[in-house]
Amino acid sequence: MEPKVRASSVRAVLSDNPRDAHLLRILDATKLLIERTGSVEQVTIRGIAAEAGVAPATLYNRFGGKETIISLAVIDHYERRVKRGFMGNDSTGCSFDALGSGLKMLAETCRASPAFAKVLMGLYFSSAGMEGTPRTMYQEFKGSLCDVVIKMHNCGDVVDWVSPEILASQLSHSCFMAVYRWSNFSVLNNALEDLMDYFVFSAILGYSQYSQKERIEQRLKELIQDLSGFSQFL
């Protein structure tokens, strides 16, 4: 019998089993059920087992419960569809380019799986204690943004007294707020990237070096013009 996987070790599972087709089938089935039902509450071990073609006992024995499987599914979704966007620029490039590349990848992922994005954002903004799946999702995204903020430090784009962790936290929340508004208002369907850019660069402005302020302010002015029909969402 395989040892149960605890939620605290979900990343280790994916790292140790990167080509485990059996595991990926289970995670894909979980994401499909979340999208289909529009809720994690309605996703059950029996439902995941039926969709993945395995016995419920197999999931209980390996994972212990659905919370761990859902957390794994969120990390896998992020690793396969979003994270590479933040890693797409080499260390010699502009830090804002690395940020923009990651945000673009996130936008594309949200548009490809809108129901999944809506469920995840709903969990994040409704979870006061930030436990389980919302925390998993937040930590993964913040980790990538923290790497980008460190690059901003190294490039001299932001003030050196701001903690990468603190700024990455603010940027993560700003980005999630944009996705949450997009996922709940169909009128914003084609404005996701602009909305994310506006929220994220508004947060960066207060920490940017003087040499970058004019550039960011100009970018925000252009975004406001592009989003002129959606001012109530800013």
Phi-psi region of 53 (alpha: psi -120 to 50; beta: other; left: phi over 0): left
User: CA geometry: angle at 12 spanning 101 and 107, to 5°?
Assistant: 20
Q: Residue 98: pLDDT band by 50, 70, 90 thresholds? A: confident
The token pair at 36 is: 């289909």
User: 76 and 14 in contact (C-beta within 8 Å)?
Assistant: yes
Question: CA-based diameter of the chain, in Å?
Answer: 61
Report the distance separating Cα 96 and Cα 224, nearest Å: 19
Where along the chain do its domains lie?
7-75, 82-233
Assess whether pLDDT exceeds 90 at residue 17. no
101-115, 138-152, 178-192, 196-210, range with the lowest pLDDT: 178-192
**Single pTM value for the model:** 0.80
Range 82-233: architecture per CATH: Orthogonal Bundle (1.10)
Assess whether pLDDT exceeds 70 at residue 58. yes
Average pLDDT over every residue of 52-66: 90
Average pLDDT along the chain: 82
User: 208 and 159 in contact (C-beta within 8 Å)?
Assistant: yes
Is 1.10.10 the CATH number for 7-75? yes
Phi-psi region of 149 (alpha: psi -120 to 50; beta: other; left: phi over 0): alpha
Q: Residue 18: pLDDT band by 50, 70, 90 thresholds? A: low
Q: What is the pLDDT of residue 53?
A: 92
More confident site: 211 or 47: 47
Q: What is the pLDDT of residue 6?
A: 46
